[in-house]
Structure 1
Amino acid sequence: MKSLIIDVAGLAGFGAMVGGIFLKFGAAVALMAGGCGLLLWALLAARRIKHAD
């Protein structure tokens, strides 16, 4: 349950950040920033799974 709460808080924060970028700079920059953030998150998650073995 603890990890679910942390994941939801992280996704909410990420959504707020991308929303702020969208309001400030527009859709193209927001989508690029969001894509980079999700790519970084996926790489870190894959690294964590690899080191857990």
Structure 2
Amino acid sequence: MAHKDLSHLTAEQIKDLIKRYYNYEKIPDVLKEFEINVYPSMLIKLFPPVV
């Protein structure tokens, strides 16, 4: 289950978001592109847990 701030994204978009985060893309740019309204430092806390 995706966090409510990511609920408008598909599973594929969430995977892309996580990949781009770990590839050190500029977080503010990624947040804007995916229409996520959180502080850049909060983004990682929205990711689903690793199982």
Rg bigger for which structure?
Answer: 1
Structure holding more helix per residue: 1
Name the TM-score, length of structure 1 as normaliser.
Answer: 0.36
Name the TM-score, length of structure 2 as normaliser.
Answer: 0.37
Flag the structure with more relative contact order, 1 or 2, with Cα contacts below 8 A and sequence separation at least 6: 2
